[in-house]
Structure 1
Amino acid sequence: MALFKYLLSLEEKNRYSFYLAVFRIFVCFHLIKTILFQWAYLDILYGANSFVSPVPTFITELLGIPTHFLREHYQWFITAYLLIIVLYLFGIGKHFTALLLFLCYETLQRMCNLVLNGGDNLMKFIMLYMVFADSYQYFSIKAGQFKNQTLRQLSNLGSNLCVRAITLHFCMIYFWSAWHKIHAEVWFNGVATYYTFSIGRFKGTPWNDFLAKNGVFVTISTYFTLIVEVYFPVLVWFKKTRLAVVLCGIALHLGIYVFMMIYGFEIIFIMTYGFFFKDEEWQAFLNKLISRINRKAKWKLPTFAEFHPEPQVYAGR
């Protein structure tokens, strides 16, 4: 009965419509940025001259296209991929475009899985969840909700469940990461940061060697990482502790970004934190921020509600 009431409450409103739209925009720019960074090496990564052995992909298995054919014509595939990203950016095609983008992204990952990291794996699952979410009420060419009440309720239910799947998946990542760290001697003894900062690959600043030799920093940073990963999956669900633990998580990932030169991975994780806050919380924060800017700079920037009123309803997709 409690579960049934909970599901009914999820049908009332898409509680995360604003941040779903924000993350949709982020996904598009992140994917375009990745392709641009790889532009000079596309043939080596995805073409016929790739150093990675061909493996079956979703698209080749669904359509019966040989993998080597896709590699030989990778330019056309990348072009179609970029076009789908642009369509998704503007909310054109909505759920169908989201599905096509997920299939293309998953195919691209399988074509060269050696360049992937944990952030890419998380992004793949988030994009799959977002296929079923309504992320088009904001920043879309045709923003709006279904006019039919039943369809609107199903859309709200799907969107809220998708966000819950993202947040639970995110917490599981932290949980299993903490589980393995606790059972590793260097983490349990508080010296993991020393070994990490001593690796040449992760020397992001001139101070890494100095910090690696500082026992206080090594101990605090090692156990801080463990504490965040252990307690985040629990404390993030309580309103009184959510903001504090999210800020700690952001500090952790910013530290990794600066000192270890792991960029995309950290940005994806930081952006995912936004799903732990509902539209009302984002609106209150943005209104407060805009009001403070207007007061300090004597501008007249519109508040969140003035900038984007309640979405209109529409009869179809």
Structure 2
Amino acid sequence: MYSLMIRMEERNNYAFYLAVFRVFICFHLFKTIVFQWPYLDILYGPQSFISPTPTVLTELLGIQSSVIREHYQVFITTYLVVIVLFLFGIGKHFTALLLFLLYETVQRLCNIVLNGGDNFMRFVVLYMVFADSYQYFSIKALQIRNETLQRLSNLFSNLAVRAVTIHFCIVYFWSAFHKIHANVWFNGVATYYIMSLARFKGTPWNDLLVKNGYFVTITTYATLLIEMYFPVLVWFRQTRVPIILCGIALHLGIYVFMMIYGFEIIFIMTYGFFFNDREWLGLLNKIIHRINKIIRWKIPALPVVPHQEIRLT
């Protein structure tokens, strides 16, 4: 355990994908507000029919939720400004903390529109508070001159990613656990009932597919198997890519056939945390090399080892 902690202090092993996910978070949250724009008054304003619950922000500052609703335009504007600041890496950890507090408040003000992806995203934003996601795609990379603080930064960044991946596996495990105890899933007919609902008819072929017994049985049990064994197989190098590809296929199927969009995109993007910088940058450099060879461009290769690495002597 001690040697593992030492290795986690040496460098931020996920600096690149942390930055990618930071950008994704910002676009996802901004997109959500844009889609809700015509209904902001109903969702967050004083005319809302939803009773808000206390939040971390309201409890810390002693602000009543009714006050936020009365000035929801100012609140939403502040929220959007913080998203933009986080996108460009301005304010670093402080901005990340502020974004979490505002995002948690937004969810509590209108929890009726939330889904499992939103609930998971709230925790991911919290984990990002402790991670250095500013080495890429930010106006200025986070620079720490003190070696001890740099070690702590690397440690917290690696632990934050591990928290995301473990939390992700727990979500899959509990989802499979509850499905197994439901008769429709245990008997292999859950897909039939789900895709027969008007709410989830994403394609004209849904009615035809649910009449096929093989399709219904295979997709129902395949979903159970993926969710049940993902928390185990994803940790082994030999089985990581196959199980992630199965998970991507599962979520793309839900995206297309059931019209559940944000949830699936969040889960697919989270898969990237199961690969470190060496794997991601190695793959991207191979793609860049192929592009340069075919089109004869001069795209510079990405550095494989992040510059904040600390070497032990």
Q: TM-score, normalised by structure 1?
A: 0.95
- Aligned residue in 1 for 2:166: 168
CA distance in structure 1 between the aligned counterparts of 2:154 and 2:243, rounded to whole angstroms:
28
Output the CA distance in 1 between the equivalents of 2:217 and 2:64: 52
1:199 aligns with 2:197: yes
Identify if the C-alpha distance between structure 1 residues 156 and 178 changes in structure 2 by more than 3 Å, giving closer, same or farther. Answer: same
Structure 1: give runs of 5+ residues left out of the alignment.
none
Contact 1:145 1:311 in 2 (8 A): no
- Counterpart AA for 1:133: A
Could you say which residue in structure 2 is the equivalent of 1:218? 216
Among 124, 147, 169, which residue is 1:149 paired with?
Answer: 147
- Name the counterpart of 1:52: 50
User: Are 1:267 and 2:262 matched, yes or no?
Assistant: no
**8 Å contact 1:290–1:301 — kept in the other structure?**
yes
Structure 1 runs of 4+ aligned residues shifted over 4 Å read none
Match of 1:71 in 2: 69
The answer to whether the Cα contact below 8 Å between 2:277 and 2:305 also exists between their aligned partners in 1 is no
Give, in angstroms, the shift of residue 276 of structure 1.
0.3
> Where in structure 2 are the equivalents of 1:86-105 lying within 5 Å?
86-105=84-103
| Counterpart pick for 2:134 among 133, 136, 149 | 136
Displacement of 1:295 after TM fit? 3.0
Of 214-223 and 200-209, more deviation after overlay is shown by 214-223
> Are residues 1:84 and 2:79 paired?
no
Residue 142 of structure 1 and its aligned partner are, at CA, apart by 1.1
- Asked whether the 8 Å contact 2:54–2:108 carries over to 1, the reply is yes
SS at match of 1:176: helix
The percentage of counterpart residues that share the same residue type is 70
The answer as to whether partners of 1:143 and 1:312 remain within 8 angstroms in 2 is no
8 Å CA contact retained: 2:83, 2:99: yes
Contact (CA 8 Å) 2:132, 2:142: kept in 1 or not?
A: no
Post-superposition offset of 1:144: 3.9
Q: Secondary structure at the match of 1:304?
A: coil
Distance 1:301 1:251 in 2: 31
How far 1:268 moved relative to its partner?
0.3
Q: Which residue of 2 aligns with 1:112?
A: 110
- Which of residues 53, 60, 63 is equivalent to 1:62? 60
Answering whether residue 236 of structure 2 is matched by residue 238 of structure 1, we say: yes
Deviations 1:13-59, CA, capped at 9 Å, x for gaps = 10000000000000000000000000000000000000101322222
What does 1:9-20 correspond to in 2, within 5 Å?
Answer: 9-20=7-18
1:158 and 2:149 matched? no
The whole-number CA distance in structure 2 between the counterparts of 1:202 and 1:254 is: 14
Contact 2:127 2:160 survives alignment (8 Å): yes
Unaligned runs of 5+ in 2: none
Deviation of 1:303 (Å): 2.1
- CA displacement 1:203-262 (0-9 Å, x = unmatched): 000000000001111111111111110110000000111011111100100000000000
Could you say what secondary structure the match of 1:53 adopts? coil
Deviation at 1:312, TM superposition (A): 6.6
- Asked if the contact 1:144–1:312 (Cα under 8 Å) also holds between the matched residues in 2, the reply is no
TM-score by length of 2: 0.96
Quick check: 2:11–2:308 contact (8 Å CA) kept in 1?
no
Equivalence map 1:292-303=2 (5 Å):
292-303=290-301
Distance in 1, Cα, partners of 2:241 & 2:121: 23
